Structure 1
Amino acid sequence: MKSALKLKLLSFFICLLPLSGMAATSTPMAPEVPAKGYILLDFNSGKVLAERNADELLEPASLTKIMTAYVIFREIEAGRINLTDQVMVSEKAWRTGGSRMFIEVGTLVSVEDLLKGMIIQSGNDASVALAEHVSGTTESFAKLMNANAKRLGMTNSHFTNPNGLPDPDLHTTARDLAKVTMALIREFPQYYPWYGTREFTYNDITQPNRNPLLKRDPSADGVKTGHTNAAGYCLVGSAKRDDMRLVSVVMGTTSPNARAQASLALLNYGFRYFESHQLYPANQPIENLRVWFGEQEMLPVGPATDVVATIPRGAYNKLSAHLEKSNEQLKAPIAQGARIGDVVVTLGENEIVRVPLVALQEMPEGGLWRKAKDSVLQMF
């Protein structure tokens, strides 16, 4: 059943943003960039704004290190390792080829320095040292990577090492890389600024961040480049303008400039032609619903997650919303967090957002008097 939420929600919109000059306009097609696979998403809503071959299995090269960092951050959060831990550099880490932060075998390096060396300098040696510190071997760490990938819903990914060096069994997709990138930004805001750091010095060697977006777009603050001969030139980018953040993944381009141009084209398209609004925060009351046979008559309800709408620019005044209750009559007992129905947002005639509506507090059964009273009221 639908509840009369529409006018209340629209009045809330009016408080958020003036409606003048907001007539709906058509949105042009997204640019088709020269890459094997790509995707562009709104970080807040998860809405896909552009994609091509986003589920094709591709080699990630150093984009693998996004997952490596995510796993390390989770280990820190769980208290199993610390940023101040001193890691003994193994010969395997020291000998790892490709991009390096130039750690030396037999020396002690802090987890924090290794993370910065991996994130900013793309150090393959740092990735191996971190993996060995967490799991003992890179093979065991790869199992941890795959477990986290499964938990994040990265159904088309398989990791075999922490740095992305070529392996026939190493693959992922543009969509899966977007998932782990958005999880990293959302779950670890205290560490994400490292991805926007322009340079890092270790062992008296200063190396710049390899991400070209940091120089070409002042709103860009991440994330990671990658390259091998087989993978081509890859780039996961993220930028924030006002309250809107976008994430782009570009894989398999032919040159460093091509991956930068493709990423900028996607990001600029997203910011230019779309806008994003948080309509309701998670677990905040948006309505009080009548409950029968409960200790109280009214139950506060709200969305289980943030209600965020990503819409074409100029279409704001065509938004509307309503509540859909699972049952016409709510009856106690009701547990806190129980799903009551859905918050549904529409743009014109199209549904664009549906978020579970939940009870924000417990509603036990009322006493005999309350039950008798409600039984009589239901008769009329």
Structure 2
Amino acid sequence: MSEKLYQKTPHRSIVIASVVSALALFFVTGHEAGAQSFQTIAPTAILVDSDTRAVLFEKNADELVAPASMAKIMTAEVVFNELKNGRLRMDSEFTISVNAWKKGGAGSGGSAMFANVNTAIRLEDLLRGLIVQSGNDAAIALAEGISGTEENFARLMNDRARQIGLTKSTFRNSTGYSDPEQKVTVRELAALSRFVIEAYPDLYKMFGEREFTWNKIRQQNRNPLLAMDIGADGLKTGNVDESGYGLSGSAVQNGQRLIVVVNGLKTARDRAAESRKLLEWGFRSYEPHLLFEAGQVVGDAQVFGGDRRSLALVSERPVRVLVRRGEGERLSARIVYQGPLKAPIRKGAQVARIEVTRGDMKALEMPLYASEDVEVGTLPQRAFDGLLEVSTGWVRRAISDAFSGI
């Protein structure tokens, strides 16, 4: 049994179906959990479970901040995407321009791969210089080699950012050098990190490499989490004066991956300590609970103009939610879609999503898909649906108008 609620929008209605039948799974014996119990000195921070997308902790997660060298995660994503689509190969060569050498090389004062000016370097080596050594010379060489200039490459970075769902972050260069218009949120840095991990599993392994030697200069990976015994395998650190010390990191324990992003810390030691504490707290405090198996019906959606009035919705992946260990807490679930859905609908089409919330925080969001085809209904069926939609539309408008005056 599901309860349908409607919210008024400029176009179609957003249908919210409470997953009443599943709510029993969301209660853990004990008292209801309160607010976040973890505290951090990081001005901005977020901790996310990679599988469920659950936010376990957040602090000023939507505040725009300077990414520093964490912007290189976006630079790497652009290069990874070029490789994935066959426009580049690992043995493609890029030349270290005078600009890349002066602006990002050994004499620039920042992190560098120590590449020599006017030398041709294989893409695979430049990627390691970018990721392991955080080389600004490598970042600029990649940008110029792919787009001609850093400015053009920044436009490509922003295009890719929007394509993968980053709506607030703006990139202006490939290095993370300070720019008043280059801003991100830690929430979107976590989403970017998760995307890179999931979309490029083989290439992502570079983020976990502990050292890289180029031009006879051996450098350690700057990510302090890799040296800790916590299952860390990436990603990047960053530091500029305007933002302080930041880190986007990921670790896996017992098959569970957590992603942490912190920014604004005063020292590299604080950055390492706060990132580690967040990860350890997350692994210690939460455990996954299975709600629905992959392919199991999660709920249903109303259909307009079809050969049936409703459509069963399924998830392609198991639906799991994280709950606090040893504490009772209440979570709420709902199915959200733009509806009613209009026939025809093909099996496997993404038509809705399930949302689970823990207080004010989203514990889970996953897409839901049509379990079967829905064909266009007969003329009498379509006429009946039309009359029903008109009548319920009047009811929704009346309810909206009544509450608008309160």
* Fold agreement, TM-score > 0.5: yes
Mapping 1:301-380, distance limit 5 Å:
302-303=314-315, 306-314=318-326, 334-338=345-349, 353=364, 355=366, 357-362=368-373, 364=375
User: 1:76 is matched with which residue?
Assistant: 83
User: 1:269 is matched with which residue?
Assistant: 281
Task: Say which of 140, 162, 173 aligns to 1:150.
Answer: 162
Alignment check: 8 A CA contact 1:277 1:309 kept = yes
Mapping 1:122-201, distance limit 5 Å:
122-201=134-213
Gaps of 5+ in 1: 14-21, 372-380
User: 2:74 is matched with which residue?
Assistant: 67
User: 2:59 is matched with which residue?
Assistant: 52
Task: Say which of 217, 230, 249 aligns to 1:218.
Answer: 230
State the TM-score, normalizing by the size of structure 1. Answer: 0.79
Please tell me the residue identity of whatever aligns with 2:157. M
**Structure-1 separation of matches of 2:115 and 2:350:** 53
Cα 1:33–1:165, aligned 2, differ >3 Å: closer, same or farther? Answer: same
Identity %: 41
**Structure-2 separation of matches of 1:109 and 1:78:** 21
The Cα of 1:191 is off from its aligned counterpart by 1.2
Alignment check: 8 A CA contact 1:244 1:275 kept = no
Please tell me the residue identity of whatever aligns with 2:273. Q
Task: Say which of 87, 94, 98 aligns to 2:94.
Answer: 87
**Structure-2 separation of matches of 1:150 and 1:331:** 27
The Cα of 1:55 is off from its aligned counterpart by 1.7
State the TM-score, normalizing by the size of structure 2. Answer: 0.74
Cα 1:226–1:360, aligned 2, differ >3 Å: closer, same or farther? Answer: same
The Cα of 1:236 is off from its aligned counterpart by 1.0
Please tell me the residue identity of whatever aligns with 1:161. N
The Cα of 1:154 is off from its aligned counterpart by 2.4
User: 1:19 is matched with which residue?
Assistant: none
**Structure-2 separation of matches of 1:324 and 1:138:** 41
The Cα of 1:300 is off from its aligned counterpart by 7.5
The Cα of 1:358 is off from its aligned counterpart by 2.9
The Cα of 1:239 is off from its aligned counterpart by 0.9
- Aligned residue-pair number: 358
Matched, 1:37 2:49: no
Cα 1:198–1:295, aligned 2, differ >3 Å: closer, same or farther? Answer: same
**Structure-2 separation of matches of 1:326 and 1:86:** 48
Task: Say which of 82, 106, 111 aligns to 1:99.
Answer: 111
**Structure-2 separation of matches of 1:265 and 1:235:** 13
**Structure-2 separation of matches of 1:233 and 1:342:** 36
Gaps of 5+ in 2: 4-18, 382-406
Q: Which moved more, 1:269-278 or 1:193-202?
A: 269-278
The Cα of 1:323 is off from its aligned counterpart by 8.5
